[in-house]
A and B are shown apart, each in its own frame.
Chain A
Amino acid sequence: MSKILIIAEHLNGQLNQSTAKCVSCASKIAGASIDIVVLAADPAPIAAQAAAIAGVSRVRTIANAANANAIAAIYAPQVVAIASDYTHVFGASTTVGKDLMPRIAALLGVSQLSDIMAADDAHTFKRPIYAGNAIVTVKAPAGQIVVATVRAASFAAAGGGGNATIEAAAVAVALPTHTRYVNLQQGGGDRPDLQTARIVVSGGRALGSADAFKLIYDFADKLKAGVGASRAAVDSGYAPNDMQVGQTGKIIAPELYVAVGISGAIQHLTGIKDAGTIVAINKDAEAPIFEVADIGLVADLFKAVPEIMAAL
């Protein structure tokens, strides 16, 4: 039987929704028992949130002042210390998970699967390659622990109402001091989080300046939406890096995605392939974004967007 350990992701005492998405992925494996481990300086409030996720049997906590921030070199040996109780270790394919999971896999001497989007069985998974141009089915060896990151956008978050037991895990490993946290400059503000927002409005190079990009924020606020951007918009300094959507930015699955002045390069499209409805506003009728858009409007964005806002 599969025993799956999921590493909780959290910030400022809040459990990240990607953890419940990992649970949802794990629960696709027949008969699996699912544990969550919370590494933190003060795991209690996070453990309580994790214990409420439906389908989780046990939440294990590893309290340590060194765990205040998710530093891979510090977390990895602690996870490895309890990994022998499990057949699988999963983390989300967020920047935290992508940083940590390969380090864990290497310490365990096994390969890692990145971005799994489907679990066919305990050892067979699907994942995207070539910026989502191909989906490969990958088999992990049966006799080895499976270490993987879960493509959060491919799974709905597992529900609440669970009542897992919470217990402290006794972990005594020496932790390195060679890696020190300095600070975090958080972007975002009080708009809905890009990765969990129901609606996302994204702007591209067409906006032309950081000043003009304000139109995207205003539009998003009107729709109570999160804000995204193409790489061109980020590279040109119109929007901060944490807004980039795509192969090398965030992979998102909102119910409604509105692409404004974005051409639809494959590297961008891979980030929105699970979106419910894609709306594209672009003045070029030949732009590739129209190949994937459910609703397309060929128009100058500087005319169309204010017009839409006025009509809402």
Chain B
Amino acid sequence: MKILVGLKRVVDYTVRVQVKPDGSGVAIDGVKMSINPFDEIALEEALRLREAGKATEVIVVSIGQQTSMQQIDTGLAMGANRGILVKTDKPIQPLTAARVLAKLVEKEQPGLVILGKQAIDDDNSQTAQMLAALIDRPQATFASKVEVDGNVARVTREVDVGLETLEVDLPAVISVDLRLNTPRFIKLPDIMKAKAKPRETLELASLGVESGDHLAATHYAPPAKRQKGVVVKDVPELIGALKAKGLL
């Protein structure tokens, strides 16, 4: 079985993104870019499934500009077998990403597609669910445990009220949560080995995918600032301050 993994290039999670003063967007020129943290976890899970003999090939896909090839390089160094860059010059929305991934599913026929539960730039958390709908297959989102047994995956999901377990027939789409695994570190020889791995570039425009970019962002603003608070000197003062606010 093949596993397809999505790697989105996003602003690194340590960067504190600022809104441009004119409200036209966020200032991200020159900031550190990385693989979406959830996608590293998705890839790690795919690699572990391959190492456990449940999968034969792990394919990493990134949809974005030429620069997203860096994230594919990293994915290949982590251990993926090959990479596909779907090139487009403008940012796409989840429905378009899902339609592109559906095309690749049609072509590659993977048994599993593993994506992140959300991309930490737009915080949408939609692509996996949309892909599963488009290909009419099961979805198991926010996974914290994945067990594959023949044609079935048993997935534990992190939900608001606890942990839910679903059983899904393959092919299926999984989106991963933070506690599924800890991604491996890349060693120097892995980077060298990855140089020889196959990388394919497809133009998004050539895939015949209808755009699903229906939403228009018209203005960006910084979040409302909280008023500066007080620092109390000891516990009695803290209790006094809470009582003054009627909270105790």
Contacts and interface: CB of A to CB of B under 8 A. Distances in A.
A98 B125 contact: yes
Contacts, number: 255
A185 B163 contact: yes
B123 A187 contact: no
Nearest to A107: B133
A130 B25 CA distance: 12
Contacts of B13: 131, 267
A11 B162 CA distance: 12
A110 B93 CA distance: 11
A150 to B, nearest CB: 14
A178 B137 CA distance: 7
B126 A112 contact: yes
Given A103-B132, A183-B165, A186-B161, A235 B226 contact: no
A73 B138 contact: yes
Interface in B11-35: 11, 13, 16-19, 26
A95 B18 contact: no
Contact of B129 (A72, A94, A183, A277): A72
Contacts of B223: 128, 132-135, 273
A137 B217 contact: yes
Contacts of A107: 133
B90 interface: no
B214 A130 contact: no
B158 to A, nearest CB: 5
Interface in B68-85: none
Interface in B114-159: 117-118, 120-134, 136-142, 144, 154, 157-159
A179 B168 contact: yes
A71 B166 contact: yes
A180 B166 contact: yes
A150 B188 CA distance: 45
Contact of B154 (A182, A187, A292, A296): A182
Task: Name, among A112, A188, A308, the residue most crowded by chain B CB atoms within 10 Å (CB to CB).
Answer: A112
Contacts of B134: 106
Task: Name, among B16, B133, B144, the residue most crowded by chain A CB atoms within 10 Å (CB to CB).
Answer: B133
A195 B160 contact: yes
A279 B161 contact: no
A297 B236 CA distance: 11
B94 A111 contact: yes
A295 B238 contact: yes
Contacts of B216: 138-139
B214 A134 contact: no
Task: Name, among A96, A277, A294, the residue most crowded by chain B CB atoms within 10 Å (CB to CB).
Answer: A294
Interface stretch (B1-9, B49-57, B196-204, B240-248): B240-248
Given A105-B95, A248-B117, 12 more contacts: A76-B133, A99-B139, A103-B129, A103-B132, A104-B133, A106-B130, A130-B26, A176-B136, A242-B161, A247-B120, A294-B227, A297-B232
Interface of B: 11, 13, 16-19, 26, 93-95, 98, 117-118, 120-134, 136-142, 144, 154, 157-169, 172, 177-179, 212-224, 226-227, 229-232, 234-236, 238-239, 241-242, 245, 247-248
17 contacts: A73-B139, A103-B130, A106-B131, A106-B134, A130-B123, A134-B222, A139-B218, A141-B215, A181-B164, A183-B164, A248-B117, A266-B16, A293-B229, A295-B231, A296-B231, A297-B234, A311-B235
